[in-house]
């Protein structure tokens, strides 16, 4: 972003070099909608300067300064906290859905599974991951 104006809304993203993701399943560029707290929802229009098929490659390319991208906040958080990445539109986010743990059922649940579920729940609470990972919280 050196020497560039920071966009003030999602329409400003169209002027920037974009690092986008191609779906392994369909081969198409992944299309996303971005929203804000007022409920306004817009399609994201990034220039397709670099196309990859792996979120880690998207992050690595953005760290190298090759363009802007949309990656999950848990993947970006350490780099945001260290100032290696910046969040361009803090009032906007893409809702990728909840983080869930799936298992067969509660009856006759193996103790190892119960311990794992409890560990993850405690970790999320202790580290405040629900707040830190929320895209809507800046």
Q: What is the pLDDT of residues 24-69, one digit of tens each?
A: 899 999 888 898 889 899 998 888 999 999 999 999 999 999 999 9
Task: Check pLDDT > 70 for residue 21.
Answer: yes
Range(s) of the chain covered by CATH 3.40.190.290: 10-95
Of 99, 83, 84, residue with least CA distance to 135 = 99
Average pLDDT for 7-24: 91
Mean pLDDT, rounded, for 126-138: 70
CATH for the stretch 10-95: 3.40.190.290
Mean per-residue pLDDT over the chain, rounded:
87
Burial 38-65 (b: 16+ CB within 10 A, else e): eeeeeebebeeebebeeeeebbebbeee
pTM above 0.75, yes or no: no
What pLDDT, on a 0 to 100 scale, did the predictor assign at position 136?
58
Q: How confident is the model at residue 24, as a pLDDT? A: 87
State residue 56's pLDDT score: 94
Task: Inform me whether the pLDDT recorded for 138 exceeds 60.
Answer: no
Is 87's pLDDT higher than 80? yes
Residues 83 and 65: their CA atoms lie apart, in Å, by 13
**SS3 category, 126:** helix
Residue 135 binned pLDDT confidence (cut-offs 50, 70, 90): low
Beta strands in 23-116 (DSSP E): 33-36, 41-43, 47-52, 68-69, 92-93
Neighbours of 12 (CB within 10 A): 15
């Amino acid at each position: 972003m050196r020497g560039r104006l920071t966009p003030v809304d999602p329409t400003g993203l169209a002027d920037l070099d974009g690092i986008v993701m191609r779906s392994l399943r369909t081969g198409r560029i992944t299309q996303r909608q971005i929203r804000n707290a007022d409920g306004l929802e817009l399609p994201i229009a990034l220039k397709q300067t670099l196309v990859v098929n792996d979120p880690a490659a998207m992050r690595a390319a953005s760290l190298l300064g090759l363009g802007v991208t949309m990656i999950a906040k848990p993947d970006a958080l350490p780099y945001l906290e260290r100032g290696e990445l910046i969040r361009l539109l803090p009032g906007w986010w893409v809702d990728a859905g909840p983080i869930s743990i799936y298992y067969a059922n509660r009856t006759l649940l193996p103790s190892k599974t119960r311990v794992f579920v409890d560990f993850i729940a405690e970790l999320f609470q202790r580290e405040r991951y629900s707040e830190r990972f929320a895209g809507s919280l800046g």
